[in-house]
Chain A
Amino acid sequence: MSAGSGSRNTNTEPWGSFDDNLIQGGGSAVIDMENTDDTSGSSFEDMGEMHQRMKEEEEVAAEAAATEDDDGEFLGMKGLKGQLGRQVADEVIPEGQRSKQLIQVWQAGKRQASRAFNLYANIDILRPYFDVEPVQVRSRLIESLIPARMINFPQKIAGELYGPLMLVFTLVAILLHGMKTSGTVIREGTLMGTAIGTCFGYWLCVSSFIYFLSYLVNAQITMLQTLSLLGYGLFGHCVVLLVTYNIHFHFLFYVLWLVIGGLSTLRMVTAILSRTVGQTPRLLLCGTLSVLHMLFLLYLHFAYHRIVEGLLDSLEGPNLSPIQRVARDVPEVMLNTTMRSLGNMAKTR
């Protein structure tokens, strides 16, 4: 920190008064996220506050030095200030005072707006959680199906959001595929909306619920870690659904549900077990998580399974419920209905 710029000798006390340089902070505080203990729970709010404070300090310093030849670039709109200001000036304010007043008004307004924008739309808060390499993402995807053995020592859970977010979107795409091939009819909504709502709802709500439970039983896990854990757990769901939406054997689905679903559940359960103390809390947390995780896969498969049109028409008739998703594919009836529909097609041809 240079002693020359802006330092005044305020040495009025015999013991040497406080140094102004300490408060004004010419440098910036860089926080190395890699060395942060991963159970320290750097929440969004803390990051946001810190960023906001740093930005405000910068802005105050910049304003003190700001002159009237500020370029006025805001959200990529260059030069708007000059033209607009001159147009208004011509019409309203007398010649002598207009430029200074208008520029001040513009700068004040811009400061307000950019402050609000920076506070609410500051994506820099999320930047550390997207700091990954492709190799890391791939290894984490594979590890999400491999339960770790050690439960006596807290396992390291990666605190990133890129992988989980991409997995949720992939699940949405796979769900859309499943809904389309099953001919799902959604009356009171849209296909895309339902898919997005289901997947994001599951990810966010169940993560929050698990975090809430772990807060109650005092487990050492943060919200970011539950989001990340559950997000990576959806990898197993994606694989199972991708296979079983295209190959319709119930037996195959049940095997995959138990094996792959079970493995990813076990992985999440061991991660949480390693961070919880006490029999009852462990039972509560892990039981809830496994039940919700496995049931979600079951729901996704059976809710959007292929239906058989002839069977549906003969059973339901015209009185259909608002969201109509049926799964009825008993093999013998399917064969009969297929023959019937083929016969119908032959007749109409």
Chain B
Amino acid sequence: MAAADESSRPFAGLSDVSISGDIPVEGDISVPVGPSRRDDEFSTLDEPVKETILRDLRAVGNKFIHVLYPKRSSALLRDWDLWGPLLLCVTLALLLQGGAAKGDDQSGPQFAEVFVIIWFGSIIITLNSKLLGGTISFFQSLCVLGYCIMPLTVAMATCRIVLLVPNSLVSFVVRLVVVTASFGWSTFASTAFLADSQPPNRKALVVYPVFLFYFVIAWMILTFTPTQ
């Protein structure tokens, strides 16, 4: 009986071990107590709106920084959100609005067109990478692709400013250089996040559609001419 007791409680002798004070112990222990616990759960609903917005903005800003310096980190993947991609997509579509070649009918990309291209392109690339055996989830991939449009948005803003100068050849060369650099940056940044989730011999199969996607967007930016 005593032997059975001892074997059933192998760690019984450790019950009086004390932890020294200088080892930091972290974590949450929540015990269901009653009404007070319900108040704790709704705490994010009770906080002021400014705090919620600032927290989300800080998260978005943090991810922008990760895109600017693409090291192999999992910050973009761990807490994905779609606010950043939405913001970038809307900005890019607004900047591309109002470009027309000849005449006053719609020959430049319109807002809806850019929006649809970006989102459906991202969805197709995500499906492709999942079908090729990727370990990344659907929304994580959308998040990464959306955030990596940031260099191209910056390039679009630069192009718009450069187009204010009427000299055509120099402005074209400058725009070409800027757009090519940002296209390379976008592709490199997104592959730094996406390629890790693929089996090693199939990285090229995933990178190619990403390359094509950003190429189409870069092409739309480069050929943008504002209405006279």
Q: Contact check: which of A127, A137, A183, A186 meets B102 at CB < 8 Å?
A: A183
Report the separation of the CA atoms of residues A191 and B216 in the bound assembly, to the nearest whole angstrom: 12
Closest to B205 in A: A134
Q: How far is the CB of A174 from chain B (nearest CB, A)?
A: 10
Bound complex: CA A282 to CA B156 (Å): 54
Least CB distance from A90 to B in Å reads 8
Q: Is A193 touching B113 in the complex (CB atoms < 8 A)?
A: yes
B177 within 8 A of A: no
Complex interface: chain B residues within 8 A of A123 (CB)? 127, 130-131
Cβ–Cβ < 8 Å partners of A113 in chain B: none
Cross-interface CB contact of B101 among A86, A127, A183, cutoff 8 Å: A183
Q: Is B38 an interface residue (CB 8 A)?
A: yes
Name which of A63-71, A165-173, A240-248 contacts chain B: A165-173
Number of interface residues of B (CB under 8 A): 32
In the bound complex, residues from chain B placing their C-beta under 8 Å from that of A183 are 101-102
- The answer for the CA separation of A126 and B133 in the assembled complex, in Å, is 11
A127 touches B205 (CB 8 A): no
Task: Tell me, yes or no, whether B110 is within 8 Å of chain A by CB.
Answer: yes
The residue in chain A whose Cβ has the minimal distance to the Cβ of B41 is A83
Complex Cα–Cα for A186 and B102 (A): 11
Bound state CA distance, A191 and B223, in angstroms? Answer: 13
A18 within 8 A of B: no
For the complex, is A302 an interface residue (Cβ under 8 Å from B)? no
Docked CA distance A132–B212 (Å): 19
User: Does B135 sit within 8 A of A, measured CB to CB?
Assistant: no
**Contacting pair A185 B212 (CB below 8 A):** no
Within 8 A of B (CB), among A142-186: 162, 165-166, 169-170, 173, 176-177, 180, 183, 185-186
A to B CB contacts below 8 Å, 25 in the list: A76-B139, A86-B38, A127-B131, A131-B133, A133-B202, A134-B205, A137-B205, A162-B131, A162-B132, A162-B205, A165-B128, A166-B209, A166-B212, A169-B209, A173-B212, A173-B216, A173-B219, A177-B219, A185-B102, A185-B107, A186-B107, A190-B106, A190-B110, A191-B107, A192-B117
5 extra A-B contacts, CB within 8 A, seeds A176-B216, A190-B109: A76-B137, A90-B38, A173-B212, A183-B101, A190-B110
Residues of B within 8 A of A (CB): 38, 41, 101-103, 105-107, 109-110, 113, 116-117, 127-128, 130-133, 137, 139, 201-202, 204-205, 208-209, 212, 215-216, 219, 223
